[in-house]
Each structure stands twice: as C-alpha cells, then as structure tokens.
Copies of this chain bind each other. A is one copy, B any other.
C-alpha cells in the first residue's frame, strides 16, 4: 500500500477554505484524499474577512493579516463571486442586495463550511515560519510555531499550497517630509474606519480601489474634505463636492502637502492607498512568487502550479476580478493535480501553456479585456474538474456592467442590483442607500422592518 500523501495548506482565508472544500468534495464522493493540514495564524478562518481592530502586529506580534475596515461593503457585486456549490439564496434563504457589508460576506463564506468537519484540519494561531524543499526525499519541511505556546515544530509534506493572499503586506513608498507630518499617517492596510475623520481634511494617496473606497468612506463619515492624489492618472469619477483629485503628492512640509501641479493643501490625516506586495516570508527565494500584482503572475502553470517545482501550488495569487469562485476553480484544479486525477504535464508542455496564456495576457489593453481574460481562465479551470459549472461568461459581463455603473455614480452604485448566475435570482433592493447607512451590522442589514427610502439619492 502506498503511503498517504501529506499536504500543507498555508492560510485559511477564502483560498485555503476553498482548498479544504475541494478535498472535502472528493471525500464525499468516496475518494481517498490526502491527509491535509491548514496552517492559519489568526484564531479564526476567513482571512481578510476576519476583521480585527488591531493594526500593525497582532496579539502575538505577527503582522496583522486583514486589511479590512469596520464599514467596508463589497465594492463589487456579489453576483460576480458567488460559489457555484453554495448560493447566497441557500445561505440567507431569501434574496439579499448585491453589495453586502463585510459581516454578511463573512457569514456567507464561513456558512459554506459550517456543516463540514473541516475546522479540525486547521491549526489556528499557528504561523508557518519556513518551508524547505529537499531534493533527495522530494519532500517539503515545514517549520511552524504555535503562537500562544511559542512551540516550534518541524514536519514534512509532499505538497504545499500557498493560500496566504497578497493584500496584507503594504507597499508604502517614502514621500519626502512625511517623517514630520504631524497628524496620523497610515497605510490603507491599517485603516479601520473613518468615523474619526469627521471635519478633518483627509488625503488619500493612490488612485485604485483603496483610495476610491477609503476616500468615499471619509466622505461618507463627514470629512471636511477628501483629496486623492494620483501618480499616473486620476480615477476620474464624478466626485461629489468636497472630494477632489490632484496629481502626485511630491513632498510634505509639516502638514502641508505639495502636489506635482504646484498646488498645496493642509491635511490632518494621510492614508497611503498605495497597494500591496507579494510577500511570502516563509518561502526560500526559489519558491517565492514575486510581484507585480497581475491577472497572470509569472511562474505559475495554469495560474496555480509553481512551474519550477510543481509540488508547490498557489491559490488566489492573481489580481482579482473573480474572487471566491476563481479560488474554487483553482482549488479543485490543484486538488486534482495532487490526487493524480489530472497529471501535471512535463516541463515543455507547461512552458507551452504558459507561453500561450502570456501572449493573451500581453494583449490585454483595457479593463474589460482583463475581465474577459480572467473569465476565460476560470472557464478553462472549471472545464478541467468537477466543480459545478456556471456561466462564467455572464459573471464577466456583470463585472463589465459594474465598471460602467460605478463610472456613472460612484456614491450610488452600491444601491444597484444584479441577477445571480447561479440561481437566476435578482438581488433585492436594499432598504437603505449605502451613503446613508451608518450601521453595517448583519442584524441591521438583514432587518426587514426598516422603512425603505422613498426614492434613490441622486448622485
């Protein structure tokens, strides 16, 4: 009898949870799945969606994983991320809106695994310190630490699945003079809420999702002014009064920011919305993926298998239009590789596939094309495994529609609804417009006795 394979999954966020779900799904069909252990440094699963008030390092001195803030609502329609094997309707028992707050999404992803016994596979509060590959034994050595006891432990595994995400380690460039800016300076990663920014002048540095959403939060919470500073081009939304975009902040002189167009403005708060970097402190150079953040990161066969050593896998390492459903498609694919249901092709064949996808990736010239590229990628994965089929193509169209809806009304787009590509259900119109809702709790969100607004707010 062959020795049972041992698999280590690093991270129990949406990607790691998808991976466990994939193994569970095979198990339920009576297949003999490998032994798997999921290492999670937090005390609960959910990854980014596991909100913490802590910033910087956690209660054990480890870098805080989640970049989530209290009042975050999904910034993309939930119809683009719905699990094919666990619909929103199934979880909530009735239609909900298209842009739920974080607590609601957290309930949904945790809800899928609630009926399973997957929790027993997770070693919580356990950080992976280092992974080594032994060419002789063809095994990985994993050195981990149980944080509460500080006990370190060494084990071997046949496969490693890196599911630790890439929106946790801030990219925070130096700005001249920032060291003596007298107010609060944070990276978006450490932003927890804008309630304290009421009546303040807030600068968000950046022109991507963090700047857009944290700036909008500050606006919503009553900031005196919100200024977003862009390096190459403005977000260009039709911002409300009190929200403006300026070119790059080049230096600070005390609390005065100097912008590339020569203009200046005084600020109370600076939030660096300057993105995240790929960082895998537990991997040796030769196994570690590095930036930039794209829909087709280099070195991964089918976006999951580390080409230089395909015993190592990454789930969720791409820049993301598709999220939970893409992680599922990847997790099922990885499972099939590890279980030998799908053989991993030889190097030349992998190289050909990588070349083909790279060419498609290089040809992308718009956001819509980027969405379609990722749709095509997810479709390819789904066709390879027994993950329940769904219309990836319709989901891609929802993302394209979303981009257009957002461009029309940046403060109102979250009040719109879309149709599920899994169940066909049209999302419910929410009882309160996003801009007016200050209570983001699940209880309030799911409440049915709330007087709905008579008419939608005009942008």
**A57 to B53, Cβ gap below 8 A?**
no
**B290 to A56, Cβ gap below 8 A?**
no
| CB-CB under 8 A for A174 and B59, given A129-B281, A281-B129 | yes
**A285 to B150, Cβ gap below 8 A?**
yes
**B53 to A179, Cβ gap below 8 A?**
yes
| Chain B CB within 8 A of A379 CB | no
**B193 to A61, Cβ gap below 8 A?**
no
Counting every copy of the chain, the complex holds 2
Q: For window 312-330 of chain A, which residues contact chain B by CB distance below 8 Å?
A: none
Which of A64, A145, A196, A268: most chain B Cβ within 10 A?
Answer: A196
| CB-CB under 8 A for A61 and B195, given A150-B288, A190-B55 | no
Chain B residue numbers with a CB within 8 Å of A185 are 53, 55, 192
| Chain B CB within 8 A of A151 CB | yes
Chain B residue numbers with a CB within 8 Å of A260 are none
**B55 to A56, Cβ gap below 8 A?**
yes
| Chain B CB within 8 A of A178 CB | yes
Minimum distance in angstroms from A119 CB to a CB of chain B: 22
What's the interface size class on A, roughly? 35 or more
Q: How far is the CA of A64 from the CA of B190 in the complex (A)?
A: 13
Chain B residue numbers with a CB within 8 Å of A388 are none
Chain B residue numbers with a CB within 8 Å of A390 are none
**B64 to A56, Cβ gap below 8 A?**
yes
Q: Which of B51, B55, B193, B279 contacts A182 (CB 8 A)?
A: B193
Chain B residue numbers with a CB within 8 Å of A52 are 179
| Chain B CB within 8 A of A292 CB | no
Chain B residue at minimal CB-CB distance from A149: B285
The 3 closest A-B pairs by CB, nearest first: A182-B195, A56-B56, A61-B169
Question: Can you report 18 residue pairs joining A to B where beta carbons are below 8 Å apart?
Answer: A54-B172, A55-B55, A55-B185, A56-B57, A57-B170, A57-B189, A59-B173, A59-B174, A60-B279, A61-B169, A61-B281, A70-B179, A145-B285, A150-B288, A151-B285, A182-B193, A183-B196, A196-B268
